[in-house]
Amino acid sequence: MQHKPNAVFNWSGGKDSALALHKVLEENQFDVIALLTTFNEIDESSSGHSVPISFIKKQAESIGIPLYPVMIDKSPGDYERKMMEVVRHFKTKDVQHFIFGDLYLDEIKTYRESKLNPHGIEVVEPIWGQSPEETIQAFLASGLKAKIVTIQGDKLGKSFVGRDINQTLIADLPKEVDVCGENGEFHTFVYDGPIFRKKVDFEIEEVYQLTFDVKMESGEVNTYKYWQARFV
């Protein structure tokens, strides 16, 4: 039997990531040896989705692939430094492929390739190039289940937090919101479906607001508001 190449899957815990992993496991072309997730060092929540590390660990345990957590602080350049450490570590494990669940944002794919290709790591994008509508329907058809856990406050109302991804939700999304949330409008947590050995149990205790001030190159400060689920 031909040896499958080792790969690391960059795991967010959300729907697109789960759909990409589902496809990879079905096609069986790689031996996925780790789920790589970056976390904010201060509160140990996942980058972007703000899910506590304990629940990402529950996902990994149910999937049956070891989690490889990477803690990132807010110092300049820390993300890139840590990721280069990650690359060096997995090169010793004969890994030459990093898998992602990106859809269509060229700048993200180009960035990943620019950082990984020079180190002999190939970027693999299983669901790249599909339209958001095709992707969300593929997610629903897969049997995977996910809830919205973070939303951008100026794009969606608080009531969307905690809702399951289904046809009713898709119909309720404003026309200007990407149905996959690819522009950051919302993020999800996948808790059940064919990649899991058992359902990941969790509850949303409350929904609270996060506010971030971001200084632009012009010197102007923009304020971004998010509604976030608190897990228990």
As a whole number of angstroms, the distance between CA 145 and CA 194 comes to 9
**How many other CB atoms sit within 10 Å of the CB of residue 25?**
17
As a whole number of angstroms, the distance between CA 211 and CA 47 comes to 15
- Strands 45-46, 31-40: pairing is antiparallel
Domains and CATH numbers, the chain: 6-124 (3.40.50.620), 132-202 (no CATH)
The owner of tokens 């506010």 is 211
How high is the pLDDT of residue 1? 54
DSSP for 96-131? EEEE----S-HHHHHHHHHHHGGGT-EEE-TTTT--
How high is the pLDDT of residue 153? 92
How high is the pLDDT of residue 173? 97
Local confidence band at 217 (pLDDT 50, 70, 90 cut-offs) = confident
Local confidence band at 229 (pLDDT 50, 70, 90 cut-offs) = very high
Kindly report, residue by residue over 113-144, the tens digit of the pLDDT: 999 999 999 999 999 998 999 999 999 999 99
Tokens of 170: 């898709």
How high is the pLDDT of residue 224? 85
Give the residue, 232 or 71, on which the prediction is more confident: 71
Least confident segment among 37-41, 62-66, 104-108, 137-141? 104-108
What is the mean pLDDT of the segment spanning 19-38? 98
What is the mean pLDDT of the segment spanning 208-229? 85
As a whole number of angstroms, the distance between CA 21 and CA 34 comes to 12
Query: Which residues are CB-neighbours of 14 under 8 A, at least 6 positions away?
Result: 49, 101, 146, 187, 188, 189, 190
- Whether residue 104 is predicted with pLDDT greater than 60 in this model: the reply is yes
How high is the pLDDT of residue 2? 65
